[in-house]
Each structure stands twice: as structure tokens, then as C-alpha cells.
A and B are shown apart, each in its own frame.
Chain A
Amino acid sequence: MIEALGLTKRYERVTAVDRLTLKVGQGEILALLGPNGAGKTTTTRMLAGILRPDEGSAKVAGFDILTQTEYVRSVVGVLTEQHGLYNRMRCGEYLDFYGALYGIPAAERKQRADRLLRELDLDVDSDAWLAEFSKGMRQRLALVRALLHSPSVLLLDEPTSALDPESARTVRNMLRRLRDDGATILVCTHNLSEAEELANRIAIIRHGRLIAEGTAAELRARMLGPAVFELKLAEASDDLEGAMGKLVEVIDRRPDGIRFRAADPRSANPEILRRAIRRGMKVVELREVTPSLEAIYLQAVAEEEPAALEGALR
């Protein structure tokens, strides 16, 4: 479990993280989104017990990041943005070295490493030189390194950025499995569809400050207003807007259809259907248009009015 309260980190004149408060529960994945330089890496470094915050506090797996950093580091698995493998080492040696640093008994290290390599579909010989690993293999090996000591908290920076779709799915499945086993996972990513697919909750930071947080649905409702629906007709009709009356807010019109926001779709949508059919219109479909996470993200980051992002919804 991660509980951060007012975390602040300054570098000379720049405030990298500004009074950041967030919570990630046990068995939960939080996706941390934000533009480059938003403070994601600094946040994970503080939570990993690598950097000391200037202000604020945090508990990671019950350990204080200010006073119990050594314990924090022993229960956290970190995947850094740059994997930083040692090219002059063999795969087995590398994992054995990190296993030793985490105090895993010698006999257990190989077992764990082999199991994780298998689970991540990294079919390599333990004698293979790391210099010969492809980008994707390096990323998966770095993930094995982060998971080697069975951490209860995972801080992952772009865990699938260098992976092909199949490998990325393997990693995502593994993260889901770890979450279901009770791990607390914080994922920094620019891959918005992955964040939406994987995370229980999403936090967006900008200039080191938390600007939005919640489930994807909550963020949609909060940032983009009432749900958007689309009504499609078989043939063009001039009377469609008239049929809507003042029931809903129309945001886009086409000859054979219309998009609208409905504050109370349970009562508005049946009424709209009834009116359309009464006027002889042939309704093909009425469906909710789910705005993408990208629209939410852009809205949050751009700090613009929802109207400015109508384009993203169309």
C-alpha cells in the first residue's frame, strides 16, 4: 500500500513535485499519467526511497520513506525508465547479483529467476551475455530484476514501452495477476489505452501537481461532463433536432444522425427514441460514445474548457 501526503521535491529553482497526495491500495493498480517533466519519475524515486522529499511524507508497505528507507527499498520493486543492465554480465549472473543484494538465499535465487523468466516468456540461456539482448528482452529482464524479491509494492516506469504487442500483453497479464495476488502497483506510462485497460484508478500530474484522480469513468464524468450519445438514422431527416426539443444538449449534427449530452439518460433516451419513431424516423442505433482517455488526459493537461475539446469527442 502507498500513502503519500503532500510530497514535495525541489531542484534548485524547479519544483519537480508539488504537494502531491495520493493513495494506492493493496491489490490495486494506479496509472500515473503526465507530460514529460511532470514529476512522475521524481515521484517514483521518492516512493522507492531513492530520493528524500523536501516536504511531506509517505508510507510504502507500512514503512516511512523518510526514516525507514532501507526497509522501503527492500519491499519495493522498481523498474526504471532506463533499464541500465550490465553488458559485461551474463543473464544468470545478473539476476543472481541482484538476488544477493536483496538477501535472497543462494539456492532460491536461480529458482525464482527461472520462474520469472518463464512467466515473462523470456526464453534465454542463463549464460547469455546481456550485451546481446534486444531492447524488448532487456526490458523484460529489468522487470524480472524488479520482481525477483517478490516485492509487495511495484513502481514501474513504462513497463511495456519497448515491447511488441504480444510481449506487452504477457506483461500486462502478469501485472494483473500480481494485483490479484495483493500487490500494490504504480505504473507511470504514456500509453493511455494501456493505462485504461490495466489500472483501477488513474492519476494525472502536471508541473508536479496532481490535477485529476479517479477511475476512468469518474474522470470522464468529472472532466468531460454528462455522457455523450449518438443517434443514427437510416435516412437523412430535417426534423431530428426538433424531435430532441430541450431534452438534451446537442453537440453535433449530421443529416442522418446527431450527438448529444444527456444529464439523465435513463429518462431522456427513451423519450428521444419515442419521439423519433413517432415522427417516422428509422432509428438504426442509439449508443453511448465513450470519450477516449486521451480526451480526458488532454483536457486535464491543457487546462482548457470542455468545449475546446469537442473535436476530440467527435
Chain B
Amino acid sequence: MNAALPVFSFRFRLARLGALVRREVRDQFRDWRVVLPLAILILFFPVLMNYAARLVINYVNQYGGNVIAQAIFPFLLMIVGFFPTSVSLVIALESFVGEKERYSLEPLLATPLTDTELFLGKVLASVLTPLCAAALGITAYLAGMYFLAGWFPPLALLAEILVLTVAHAACMVSAAVVISAQTNSVRAANLLASFVIVPAALLMQGESIVMFYRMYDALWWIIAGVIILTVIFLRIGLRQFRREELLSREVEEIRFDRMGSFFWRSFTGGARNPAEWYRRAVGPALRRTLPAVPWTAVALGFGAVVGLLLADRFPFPTGLLQLRDYRQNFLDSLGTLGFFTPGGTLQIFYHNAQAIFLASLLGGISLGIMGLVIMMLPIGIIAYATAILAHSGFAPGLFLLGLVLPHGIVEIPAMVLAGAAILRCGNCLLAKPDGRSLGQLWLQAIADWITVLLGVVVPMLLVSAVLETWVTPLVASWVMGW
């Protein structure tokens, strides 16, 4: 009865993957909702774009604006490639969520296929058909343009548009997988798809501007950005596309009450007073945040390096730097700026808190990356200023010792901690599964972020603001002899 055990060799896995991809592709070709739009986009759309190009040529020929035509042709080429790839989003949603909705996923999960094989098979099948359609559409458009206007794009530009087309498809499919893991019905997935369609439309508009201005080099940066985004989405998708997660998630609706109670438990740690809160919530939250600290420190260090490099590239005109003016009546001048007053302290605290709020906001929508960029700015500025002063013959060590260190000793660690908490909020989606749902991980990370912020960062910023307004000026005056 017992069959001989299959050998899970690479070739065997590849054969399984091939079977999966073939089935998915065959299924697409039997679905008129996929075939019809793709047929239109291959057969009619390139002709329509050729016609549009013809109209442009006729129009610009009247006024001698050949440059416009030269910008329009590559743009239309990109459009012809982009439209079929947008179908990949529909295919991916249907492939991932449709399978769940029709209960055909479980028999598939019961086979020896691994999660990664299943994921890759579905991703490949989702991009394959639209990419072939895009290639056919591009070929038809290029043929039409060649015979119509004798135009063929430079090979570098053609390569750029082909890579961009592949990157678009891969990015949309990988984003669709992330969406698919959050829902059990195609209807809900289609609603959530707006989170992909709207940014994709905005990206397309940005790319159109780049194409019109013929900044083809800049297009490579966009391609790099789209590829990075795709890799991030694929990582999240791989993390979520696990049979455990797929079969466990049987509740469709969002339960705000449960989310709220989970968040509150994570935030308070069940503490009844502040001392207990520090012990039961702040301590553990700090421990969970600590692994992100080295990454934040590296990012801030990178910010300093960028500041130093920029100082070399954009030196401050030496004539404008009149340090003598600051030396005279240094403390009196600071007094008029609000230093040595509680109001000044609050102002500095408010400024720093604002920066952290902005970093959190941006970090929340960019997997923590933009949050770190905001945190890098002040460090970059300090490094820039130190280098400029050094160029002007001023001892940089004295500047750092007098004007940065007295409050920076508290403020910089506070920034690092805040940055680490923001980074963790973003990258918790990329972390290895540990039995908790994605929502739970995210809520936990947000609760930790608020806990670390209120319990540690805010008090540190307050101390730093006090030091900056009351102590730093005195130390600076003493160190530098002003």
C-alpha cells in the first residue's frame, strides 16, 4: 500500500512548480474575465496608440514641434506595456483569494507542495500571462510605429521600459499577495486592491512626467525603487503565505473591540500604577525594541557620513561665517532667544517631539524607512556644521563638546530609541512568524512604540530640553571661552 517515498530533489520540486504554474495559466485562459481584457490590450490597444501617435505626428508637423513627438512615442510604449500588466493584479487576487473562497486551497495544502513552492508558483503564474500580453502589445506597437513613422526606440530605452514593465507586474502581484492574505473573499480583496491601484496610478503619473521630460536616467531610479518595494512585498507575502496562517484566518470582519482590548493589554501590561507599568510594560517593550537599536544607530551614523560628504560638496562660504559675532555677548544673545527660560525649554521639547511625531507618521506608511530618514536629518546637520566649522579653522571637538554633547548625551539616545521603535512598527510585518497573527504583531509593535515613547523617550526629551536651555549654553561658553 505504502508508495515509495518521492525524492524531493530540485528537479522534482521544479516539476511540481511547473505543474502548478501550468494549471494556473490554463485556468486563466479559460476565464473570459482575463482573456477578454488581455485580447483587447494586445489586439486593439497598440493600434489605438499607433493612431494616437499618428495624430501627434500630424499635429506637431504643422508647428515643427518634433521634440514633442520624440517624447510621446516612448511614453505610449510604456503605456502599452503597463496596461496588460495591470491585469496581473486581478489574476493574483483571483488566484490567491479565489482559491480560498472556493475551498480549493485546502486540498492543495494537503499535498507535499511547500509554502514557498505554492507561493512562487502562484506569483509566477500571475505575472506570466500579463507579461506575455505586454510583450505582444509592445511588439505590435513597435511594429506599427516602425512602419508608420520609421521610429524605433534606442535599445537602452527599450530595455529600460521592458524592465520597468516587469517590475510593475511583479510589484502589483506581490502587493496583491499581501492583500490576499488579509481576506477570505474576492469581493473584499477587490475593495482592498485600491491600496495598490491608487499608488500604481500615482507612480504611473510620475513616470509619465519623467518620460515627457525625457529624463530616462531618472527612470532607472524609479525602477530601483519599484524593485525594492517588490522585494519588501514579496518578503511580507512569503511571511504571510503559510498554510498555518491561511487556514487559521477564518474570521473576516475587523473586531475593533478585540483589537482595542489586545492593544490595551499590550500597552498597560495589566499594571495598576506607574511603577508597575514601568516594570510590566515599559521594561519588556524596551527589550523587544532593543534588536532594532543597532540598525537605527547605523542609520544615524550614515546620516552623519552624508552630512560630512555634503560639507565637502557644498562648502559654506567662509566669509559668511563670522564666529566673532557669536563670541561677543554669547550668553546675552541666547537669553534674548528664550534660553534660560521655561518657555525656551518647552519650545525645544515641542520641536523635538514634533520631529518624532513626523518621523512616526512617515515611518508608519513606509515600513519605518522614512521615519529613519527624518531621524537622520538632525545628525546630518550636526555633522555638516561640524565639518564646516572645521573648514573655517574652528576646532570641531570643541564645538561638539560645548554645543552638542551636554544635551546630546540624552537627546541622541532618545532619538535612537524612538527610531528603533518606529523601525520595529514597520518591519514587524517582515518578521518571521511566531504563531501570532500579523494584526497582533502590528498592534504589539504600536503598543511598544507608544510605551517606549511615553515611558522613556518623552522623559529623556524633557531632560534634554532642560539641559539644552540651561546647561549647554554655560558649558559652551566655558569650553569655548565665549
Contact = CB atoms under 8 A, between A and B. Distances in A.
Contacts of B109: 50
A80 B5 contact: no
Interface stretch (A84-92, A114-122, A166-174, A240-248): A84-92
B103 interface: yes
Interface residues of A, number: 43
Interface string B439-478: 0000000000000000000000000000000000000000
B276 interface: no
Given A51-B247, A152-B2, A101 B16 contact: yes
Contact of B104 (A74, A84, A152): A84
Given A103-B6, A150-B1, A84 B105 contact: yes
- Chain B interface bracket (under 10, 10 to 19, 20 to 34, 35 or more): 35 or more
A61 interface: yes
B371 to A, nearest CB: 30
Interface string B22-62: 01001100110000000000000000000000000000000
Contacts of A51: 243-244, 247-248
B20 A86 contact: no
B104 A100 contact: no
A97 interface: yes
A106 to B, nearest CB: 10
A52 interface: yes
A86 B27 contact: yes
Interface string A191-212: 0000000000000000000000
Interface in B82-118: 102-114
A52 B20 CA distance: 24
Given A88-B27, A101-B112, A103-B16, A82 B106 contact: yes
Interface string B149-165: 00000000000000000
Interface string B114-137: 100000000000000000000000
A12 B262 CA distance: 11
A98 B23 CA distance: 10
Nearest to B262: A12
B431 interface: no
Given A84-B103, A101-B111, A102-B6, 11 more contacts: A51-B248, A73-B110, A73-B113, A74-B5, A74-B6, A82-B103, A82-B106, A88-B31, A142-B107, A152-B3, A182-B1
B107 A145 contact: yes
B80 to A, nearest CB: 29
Interface string B292-317: 00000000000000000000000000
Nearest to A94: B23
B110 A76 contact: yes
In terms of DSSP, what is the predominant structure of the interface of chain A? loop
Contacts of B107: 78, 80, 83-84, 98, 142, 145
Contacts of A93: 23, 26
B247 A45 contact: yes
A93 B26 CA distance: 10
B435 A70 contact: no
B37 to A, nearest CB: 17
B221 interface: no
B19 interface: yes
A285 B301 CA distance: 97
Contact of A97 (B5, B8, B19): B19
A24 interface: no
A183 interface: yes
Interface string A32-72: 00000000000001001111101000000100000000110
Nearest to B27: A88
Contacts of B12: 103
A77 to B, nearest CB: 8
B16 to A, nearest CB: 6
Interface in A102-142: 102-103, 142
Contact of B113 (A45, A80, A101): A101
Given A70-B114, A97-B19, A54 B248 contact: no
A65 B482 CA distance: 74
23 contacts: A50-B109, A50-B247, A51-B247, A52-B244, A70-B8, A73-B110, A73-B111, A73-B112, A83-B107, A84-B103, A84-B105, A84-B106, A84-B107, A88-B31, A89-B26, A89-B27, A97-B19, A101-B20, A103-B6, A103-B16, A142-B107, A151-B3, A182-B1
A155 B6 CA distance: 20
Nearest to B118: A101
Nearest to A152: B2
Contacts of A88: 27, 30-31
B101 to A, nearest CB: 10
Contacts of A52: 244
B15 interface: yes
B318 to A, nearest CB: 65
A99 to B, nearest CB: 9
B117 to A, nearest CB: 9
Contacts of A82: 103, 106
Interface string A211-224: 00000000000000
A149 to B, nearest CB: 6
A75 B110 contact: no
Given A98-B111, A101-B111, A61 B2 contact: yes
